[in-house]
Structure 1
Amino acid sequence: MKILAISGSARRNSTNTAMLRAIRAIAPSDIEVSIFDGVGRLPVFSPDLEGESLPEAVRDFIDLIAQSDGLIIASPEYVRSIPGGLKNAIDWLVSGDDIVHKPIALLHASHRGDDMLAGLRTILATITDRFAGDIFLRLPLMKLKPAEVFKAVEAAENRSRVQAYLQAFSAYCMADSKTA
């Protein structure tokens, strides 16, 4: 099972990116988690750049999605909304087929951010018929440094929650879309 974990943060020392790295380190052996932390490096979406003119960074991003069995998105909340970089990344996917039937689940690194999550759920349920809204994990990691995030995620109680989350999402990814 190949899962692409997308960090919605463009910050170098992002809590969300650190959480995804920690999750990758403790994932069950049958679940390969790779991380995309480049939303800040994608050019601003323009329909004029689709098709033949698609920027290489966007093409690489779309290829990573196409090669995955499912996506996990972890994002901070900025001004009660989705960060611009993540929204831009999603905009690049809307007119293509790579996202339409792709299983997607959310992961969250804060005890707050419900407004962003609500908006993101609406967007994801619009762009894919495989949004797994019921498969969700929230870990209270806000304001921790990356090394502290790793320790918190690998702690026994969180490790078991993360592994159960990954296994549930993996099963969802493997299920036929008609029965999911």
Structure 2
Amino acid sequence: MKVLAISGSARRNSTNTAMLEAIRQVAAPRFDIRVFHGIAELPVFSPDLEGEATPRIVRDFMGAIDASDGLIVSSPEYVRTIPGGLKNAIDWLVSAEVIVNKPVVLAHASHRGDDMLATLRIVMSTVTSNFNGEIFLRFPLMKETPEAIRQIVGRAENRSRVDTFLKEFSEFCQSVRADSLGQS
């Protein structure tokens, strides 16, 4: 299964990005997880840049999503909501409709951030018919270093949680795929 993991943080040493990287390491080689690091590089969405005028970096981002079986989104909370960079990325995806039927689940790297998560759940359930809010993974990792996050996520009990999360997500992606093939 090919998964694209998107961090909503533009910060180089982001806790959410480090958690997604740790999940990727725990999951290999059973799952092919690629972590997208380019939120900060995406230009501000504008309808004037759609179609043939879409910048290469945005086309590459859309292509990575299109090539994936599903998305894991993990984001910090900024002023009780979704960071602007992640919202901008979502706007680009809706513009091209690459997210419309894509299976999406959330992961979160903090013990807080529930307001952002509530908003992100609303947004994701609006932009894709295959958002699954029941499949969710959360670790309280705030203020940890990337190395500490790798160690925490790599502990046996946490590896088990990651395995369960990915198994449920894989089954969900397979059911979405089966449903879409049945409707063809």
Normalised TM-score (structure 2): 0.95
The answer (yes or no) to whether the contact 1:28–1:163 under 8 Å persists in 2 is: no
Identity of aligned residues (%): 61
* Displacement of 1:156: 1.1
The answer (yes or no) to whether the contact 1:102–1:130 under 8 Å persists in 2 is: yes
* Displacement of 1:37: 1.4
Normalised TM-score (structure 1): 0.97
Figure out how many residues of one structure are paired with residues of the other and give that number: 180
Q: Hey, what does 1:153 align to over in structure 2?
A: 153
The answer (yes or no) to whether the contact 1:7–1:35 under 8 Å persists in 2 is: yes
Q: Hey, what does 1:120 align to over in structure 2?
A: 120
Q: Which runs of 5+ in 2 are unaligned?
A: none
C-alpha RMSD over aligned residues? 1.3
Whole-angstrom distance in 2 between the partners of 1:28 and 1:11: 25
Q: Hey, what does 2:108 align to over in structure 1?
A: 108
Whole-angstrom distance in 1 between the partners of 2:21 and 2:33: 9
Q: Hey, what does 1:68 align to over in structure 2?
A: 68
The residue identity in structure 2 corresponding to 1:168 is E
For 1:1-180, list aligned pairs within 5 A. 1-27=1-27, 29-176=29-176
Whole-angstrom distance in 1 between the partners of 2:32 and 2:101: 20
Whole-angstrom distance in 2 between the partners of 1:176 and 1:58: 25
* Displacement of 1:31: 1.3
Q: Deviations for 1:107-155, whole angstroms, at most 9, x for unmatched residues?
A: 0000000000000000000000000110001101010000000000001
Whole-angstrom distance in 1 between the partners of 2:37 and 2:75: 11
Residue 135 of structure 1 aligns to a residue whose secondary structure is strand
Structure 1 ranges of 4+ moved more than 4 A: 177-180
The answer (yes or no) to whether the contact 1:9–1:83 under 8 Å persists in 2 is: yes
* Displacement of 1:30: 2.7
